[in-house]
Structure 1
Amino acid sequence: MKKALLTYGLMIILPLMVMDFANVSFAQRSFVTPGLAGSRIESLDAISVEVSGKLALCSHSEKGHIILTVNGGKAPYTYKWNTLETTKDRTNLYAGTYTVDITDALGTVHTERIVVQPPFPLILNPITVTDATCGSGADGSAKVSVKVGRGEPYKVTWSNGVTDKWEVNGLEPGIHSVTVADIYNCDVTVSFEVKAASEGISANETIQDLSCGGGNDGAINLSVSGGVAPYTYKWSNGATTKDISGVSEGAYSVIIKDQKGCSYTANYLVKTPVSMSVSESILAPACEGNATGQIDLAIVGGKSPYTFKWSNGQTTASASSLTAGNYSVLITDASGCTVEKQFTLTPSSQLDLRVVQQENVSCSGNEDGKIELALSGAFGTYQVIWSDGVEGVLNRENLAAGTYSVKAKDSSGCEVSKAFEIKGAGNIEARIESMLDVDCAEGSITGVAWVSIQGGQEPYTIEWNTGDSNAREINYFQTGTLKVKISDASGCSVVTEAKVDYPKQNAQGGRLNFQYRKLEITNEPEVQVDEEIIFESEISEEFIAWEWHFGDGKKSTDKDPIHVFDKAGSFEVTLTAYDIYGCSSIEKNLVQVIIPEDMIVIPNAFTPNGDGLNDTFIPKVKAVSNFSMEIFNTWGERIYSTTSLESRGWDGTYKGQASPAGNYLYKITYTSAAGENLSRTGGITLIR
């Protein structure tokens, strides 16, 4: 059974309770409002209650709810239920009787009794079904009735849309359903099947609408299945064939019958294609040569989808990025109908800027250049702006040599610009260059400056601010600014200058020295193979780069490098330092590297008495590796072992207990500096 999701709102108006109000019992009360200039009589209606909500349960899993609408009396109201709740409305209620006392602001009490109905079964009798005569027919029927329920009225809804009928006719073969709901909208739904005595007739159609030119070239072709062949056909235009052709626009129906007399009726529509109409929205390019134009088409009529073929190769309804010019488009709809249209795009502006006259300056440094321009094709007003800030003029005079550009813009937003170079007749160009000539051997520095000249007419006259004249190259010996004036044979001149630097110090090498020492302090003064040696330099600040060569083919650019010699020999270590002028200084030292000799000295006794002298047994070793030592008592039991050269040695104990004085045996194994594996055994005396 389907649970009811909708509930009927019930209005229960019970007899009004008669309240004792000034010893008078009435349904409508009148009273005087005190405290006013004069008195007025107010009349109040008795309290009335409308009850709605879900007041019946469809199943034991459901809960009901009560909604109260209170009128009359004098608000506000207070509520007291027989379940001691004090809210106006109630939810999540089981079936049962609920009583509420409603008290208004004047103390009048109204009692309302409300029943939430318990679930009650709704059981239908089996559906009585009459099958259809044909699979394509609609002459089946069904009948439903209630076996157990709450009683009339019931609401009946059939799946074909028929309502409030216990019996329904005109059912096609297939699955159907009926829903019956009681007075509280608790319902139950039953499905049933209407069968057919034979398979129904079905038809699939292919319709050919009229062509673009109109006329009577429509057609309807059928594909029929089901029923019992052969079939007969009766068209609305009188035709008795399966397919019809040569028909005009309109509606056509056909009745198809099989050999058992079952029939099937179908309706079809032959259409005339709606002619296409084209509307356009054109955005012309603002400026000549700009590809900002666009044509947007809207198609009405015909049969979608449409295809587009533009004269510029585009294939969409919107042609974009168009320059000024002529365009055409061929539009074809799904029926093959076509329409062609032409468009012309004209720019709103044809702005152009051309040079009328240009004159260069007569001589370098003079300001007598000239430019005259003409502007045409502007749309509306225009603005002219030059690169040097001058505005509103097309003609310029008294110009110095250099590059100038001008931009013109009209009211359409189009812009055009041009650039010009004003040259001097025989312009002279000069540039001062300099260098420092350093003699590292003597420690001397000479500044050298020269002037490069281009243009003008030779011969040149050269005047330096140092007093030198007619010399392209001069020497200088201090920091400062050099100036030179160049005049050519035509009298044109140019002045150029440059700052030059001259160092305060000379190029003699600064202090350079270095020392070396072992990185790990040992009691062996000689440098041995595979020891880390740090070279500590003393380098003056004028040196900006340095390089070490260690004499064994290896080098470093660290200031204080660490180096390891991997073989014995005498190595000349060289430190070379370079200053900013490329001059170098060299310091050398000779480093003697030896191969360490292994040595092991084993004592024959020790006294573990805690006086700090000879308290443990450990040999003295030098230049050995892979060291291990074991101690045995006279019974051959091992009582101590170690593999560390850093071990303090045996302290004369075994398992935490002091070993007795006496003789013990040791076994020592190690690897010599030459890589030979050796062992030593012997006795040791523990003295207490």
Structure 2
Amino acid sequence: MKHFLFLAFLILSFNVNAQFYPVANDSPYCDAGGGTYLNNDCIQEVSFVDIDYQLDATSVEVYTDFTMTQQTFDEFDQGLAFTTATDNPNWNFFWAPPFSFYQYFTEVEKGMAYPIDVYAAQMGGSTWNTPDRYVKVFIDWNQDGDFNDVDEDVLTAGPDDDNNDLYFSGLINVPVTALNGPTVMRVILSRTNSSASFGPCSIVAKGEAEDYTVIVGGLISDINSIDVSCNGQTDGEITIDAPAAITPYSISIDGGLTFPYTGIADPSFTISGLSAGSYNIVVEDSQPETDVYSANPVVINEPDLVSFSAGVSSNYNGAQISCIGESDGEIQIFAQGGLGPYLYEYTLGAGPMMTSNDNLVTGLSAGLYEINVHDDNGCISTPINVLITEPGELINTATITSNISCDGASDGEMIINVVGGTPGYDVLIDGVSNGDALVTNLSEGTYTIQVIDANNCASIEETIDLTDPEPVTVSASISTDFNGYSISCNGLSDGEISITTAGGTTPYTYSINGGVSFDYTSSIISNLQAGSFDVATIDANGCVSTIENITLTEPTQLEITAVDNLVDVSCFGFSDAEVEMVSSGGVPTYNYSITGGAPFPNTSTVTNLSQGTYFAVVQDLNLCESEPFEFLITEPDPLTFNAFIASNYYGEDVSCNGVSDGIIEVVPSGGTYPYYYSLNGGANIMLPSPSNLITLLAAGSYDVSVSDANNCPSATVDISLLLTEPDVVNINSFVSSDYNGQEISCFGANDGVITITASGGTQPYEYSANAGVSFVTSGQPNTCVVSNLFAGAHTTLVQDANGCFSNLEIVNITQTPELTVTVLPTNVGCGSGSDGSADLDIVGGTPTYDYLWSNGQTVLPAIGFAAGTYNVTVTDVNGCTNTQQFDITEPALTIDGTDILCYGDANGMLTVTIINPNIAANYGYLWTDAAAQTTATATGLNSGVYQVTVSDQFGCELTATDSVIQPVELEAFLDYTYICENDLSSDIICYPSGGVLPYTYLWSDLSTTTGIYDIIEGNYTVVVTDYNGCQETQSIEILPLNPIVVQSQVTPPSCKDNTDGAIITSISGGYPPYIFDWSNGVVDEDNIGVSAGDYSIEVIDQGGCNTIYPVTVVADSEECLETFSGFTPNGDQNNDYWYIEGIELYPDALVEVYNRWGDRVFAAKRYNNSWQEAWNGMYNGEPLPPATYYYVINLNNGDPLLKGTVTLIR
């Protein structure tokens, strides 16, 4: 017996769903399950399954989805329901290459029996008690996604309670009804103390489930059938593939009742000449072994009888042909039965037969057609006759129904009669649509008539003429003249127009409103007002002629517009008034009346009028009169007045002695404004208005008289008045303050006092000590004391109640001398001593003085001061003080130096100075330089830190430290650009550092800039000088670089659109390293993954030199795309989808597949050669039948569509 060994790595799960393999049937073998499987007990694992097979000695290794390596624990928990094992962090899982999803196995044959051993090795080293162990095996023979059918529970073994027997054995019988192809075998190991009554999807406390793939085979590997071509024919075929049958073998098509086909030696046999029906295929070989086809019965189908209906489908507004003689008829054919697509035959009368692949036959002329239909298998239908009719010829005639009424009118009419064609007609007049058959609003001319019917068919054109009558003409004139006007007086109706008419058709009627109405039958129209008239004549046909703007003129309205220069009566009772009348309108010349009418004796000016009311009227040359113009002449009232003194300054008529501010008020009435006054018989002066006040009067007697603007006499006699004034204001002032003989207590104080007395003027008084800037009052009637004054000149002034001032007086307050204090210190002789002292120099203030030193002393001089800061306060007899701060110091040193000019020189210098020296001391010096110099100034110093010691004869010694600094060494660096093959010039830039800025430059070519530019090869030198005159010299030689050389080797793309070409370059010359810049953006030396085309690489070396090198990549002319001609989507994981080689190069490609009826069964953009996304022979979730399908591939890159066929084989 030959032996098959199925090996599987352990698949684990932890609280996850049941595992299933997506084999022939896509349904899950168990619903999602869960549970908790927590126990620390050890369990065993199924290590392998051994199935014995007589025909093949090959051992097949079977890999499941995951392999497991144990990390930490000898014990693990596992449930029956699982898909992955990622929930437990104590286990690592990895894919077992090269298998990632499916498992592949050698098949078992239907009707055979196979021994099976399940090896369940113990896992872990637990010494825990030995529970019962059970094994169950299930196989899904009918591939329906479960293990619930008869014979699918193939093995139950156990219990094994000693835990030592590692094998569970049994026998598997493969049913003859099992479906061919891959299916699932589930092996379950359970460790439990109960019976083995668990199913393929049970959840067990402890155990393991492993799924394997078993492929079921038999004598029959495949059967294909061909249906009957035409209804009722016997040309069906069945092809049986039986490569496993031992020849010769026999075939039955009635389920094994008979075997009419015997002695067959070929592994594939075709039975032909079959009619439609169901056939049960059985193969029996010479063993004898029998195989009943699992997919029986095999059905041979036949198409329905080819039949059709047909009719005229063209419709041109009710007509089957658009226009007579056209070929635009259509016949729609509806075929059924047979096998599409259909071929349609049609014949017109005795003409030739024509064919169409479209069921809509177009471009047909009128006539009787015979129609036939052929299906794709050549089956033919019974013919049908279809008649196509066409409309009659389109003809039009025109008749004039109304001539034109007037010259230039457009009221002619004609009617168009139409026959033939297809109704809804459109009448064209001179090519323009009129729509209706009645054509109106026609003017004179020749018209071309054509009719277009509903199908845009056109009739033959026809012409007709229309003519105008003679035109109506009119003229008109004005028959009246009133001194140049058509109307005599403004507003009258005495104008007249005469009209002359010719042409048209009499009688005429006339209009003067432009034809709005024709109210006159006479050609002379009278009693007209002024205005513009549009004269029109209408004849018997209503034809109108018009002459516009016949204008009748009239004078403007006669009127007196004003009475100008009216002079009223001047004085009461006088008759000296006069007027001048101004007229407009009418027709000059004018005469006037001021009595309201005739007679008209006056000119425009009338004089010597007295007070009263008058009515003026004017008469013109046409004797037209104006309306009366009323005007009034007036006279003033009698002139009278009164006068009195109006000023009052605290009882006085004038405010101050000698001032002219007295006031007299005059109150006039009557007469004519303005009024004039006279004082003491003097000249007349205009009286101010409206105050009527005579101002600026001095004290004295005044006689007042009044007259008006017309110098009319007053009815009132003169009035006499007397104005009075006060005495002059007098002042006396003096300093009244005294501070120990001083008028101010302390310098800068404001405690001075001045006393002021006053007399005269008008009390009460106000007093000022600042020349009237401000005033104060006093409680005493004639005296005021002013205090809080600073030293200086003060101007005093008195003002009385009327604002009268006294004379100014200047009073000086003397300033007390300022108290100044100067401290005279004597410094400490040596450091840390207390022999300092201080004296004072005092000036100013008021003696005597007191002293207070900050160390408590109150005498002069103060002694015993150490070095430090102190103060002293001096106070005079008036309490004025001055405080001064002063310092008692000790000797100190300060050093000034001169640094070194250039790096490395020894010309530094340091000078020490003694601050606050002891004037009695003789000082000596000692420096710490190499020469131990002993003068105040040390010279010739290098850079460094130096100390000086200064000492005197009293043993005092001071030290100080300072540095001599030298600048950073002056250096220079020269940078330059390389001389390249395509640029024979260079630039040199000098970069100095150190020294003291700024720098100057002198090059060997006498240039003085930072750099020199556009130079040729050669030797160059530059001298750099800094601010201190230090110098640095640098030289350089400029030489050209070797040119950059590029060589390339091109590997062309494997096909014309591929991007797997390469350009490999080799670079030499220049100054490495290089920078690369390809025209397609690549920055590496080599350009990998290129398509056909032109490329260039720019190479730039470290010196900035570059070269551009072009490369052309020529692709192979071979197409990249290759479609496989067929595929077999039968679930065997071999050729299960349609492979299109190279499709990944066209990401925008659209792939479409059609069946033979033209139905699209697949479409995908960005086609992917994978079982998930490629065409797998399915449509709407259902498998498509075996057949030839038609593909169309649009690459969407401008290339032509790719078309062809692909065969689906099952």
TM-score normalised to structure 1 length? 0.28
Higher strand share: 1
* TM-score, with length taken from structure 2: 0.18
Which of the pair has more CA radius of gyration?
Answer: 2
